[in-house]
Homo-oligomer: A and B are copies of this chain.
Amino acid sequence: MDVVEVTPSPEQYAYTFGGVAPLMRVRPGTAMRLWSDDAFGGALRSVADLSSEKVDLRFVNPQTGPFYVEGAEPGDILAVHLVALEPARDWGASAAIPFFGGLTSTDRVATLQDPLPDTTWIYELDRVRNTVTFVAGSSDFSVDLPVEPMLGTVGVAPPGGEARSSLVPERFGGNMDTPQMRAGTTCFLPVFVEGALFSLGDGHYRQGEGEACGTAVEGAMTTTLIVDLVKGGAPAWPRLEDDTHWMTVGSSRPLEDAWRIGQVELVRWFGELYGLAPMDAYQLLSQITEVPIANVVDANYSAVVKARKSLLPRASAYGGLHDDLRARAATLR
């Protein structure tokens, strides 16, 4: 199986979902290896690089793409199966950007207080031990943390002629910022425009749930994926599947609405998977869901609602596409 390799030049970076001409056309079933820059466009390289000086917040989360998927029409489902995520630099960066993040006032949670100090942390990558190192700025504490690569951002063009910032998660996917978006996961996205126009970026070498300070261990990433298409049947919101879980992602404000969206969407999916009536799916899921918060920092907050497959009878979604993609992925390496 051939792999299409794409490394965009900075002038090719996309900063919105929608509103950008496709970088390339691909057929369903194509395997791709995409290089994506980090959320800061590589601007933070030492703790002396402050986000207020080095980062233009109108141009963050550069996307690699968008890709026009042939045959994709509104109402279809785009499947993006993540095969491998590999750090593309030897360091990651994180920052407390003034008035951005979860434990500070922001342009929306507006207060009259001073911002938190503009601070940058650099995480050196140890490829042998597969760790990144947190080094405290105000004491001599440091700790090695496992690399657990993920993508903050995977999405398609939104409906209704909108173009949305790559900082925003919504029903089109986008900046959902969940650690579930990792190798082995298949992301099912509703298609809203001809060609779907998917893109991705915002690689994280690791991230806690909630992404509290607003930035993860941000790093350039090489993502290997297979893109595929299911005709018709688009879900209302993104769904994820991996070998262990059925998952949905809701994104809105306040956070309970993000959760509601995800929980309702999983009720719907369980209707499809198990023929459960909504009240029965509501009840069953009430007793089994795992609900890790994804982010509480973006323009919309995101929550993931998960059901563990091992608790449930065997079922398959979209003709067993996830298993099929896993098998195809195995031939890539």
Contacts and interface: CB of A to CB of B under 8 A. Distances in A.
A54 to B, nearest CB: 18
A111 B212 contact: no
A278 interface: yes
Interface bracket on A: 35 or more
Interface in A1-25: 15-16, 18-19
A19 B291 CA distance: 34
A286 B108 CA distance: 19
B96 A279 contact: yes
A328 interface: no
A206 B103 CA distance: 32
A311 interface: yes
Interface string A272-292: 001111111011111111111
A217 to B, nearest CB: 6
A295 B217 CA distance: 29
A58 B286 CA distance: 23
Contacts of A312: 143
A88 interface: no
Q: Report the copy number of this chain in the oligomer.
A: 4
B283 A141 contact: no
A230 interface: no
B163 A18 contact: yes
A55 interface: no
Contacts of A116: 111-113, 279, 282
A161 interface: yes
A255 interface: yes
Interface of A: 15-16, 18-19, 58, 94, 96, 102-105, 107-117, 119, 121, 134, 136-139, 141, 143, 145-146, 159-165, 206-217, 236, 250, 252-257, 259-261, 263-265, 267, 274-280, 282-293, 296, 301, 303, 305, 311-313
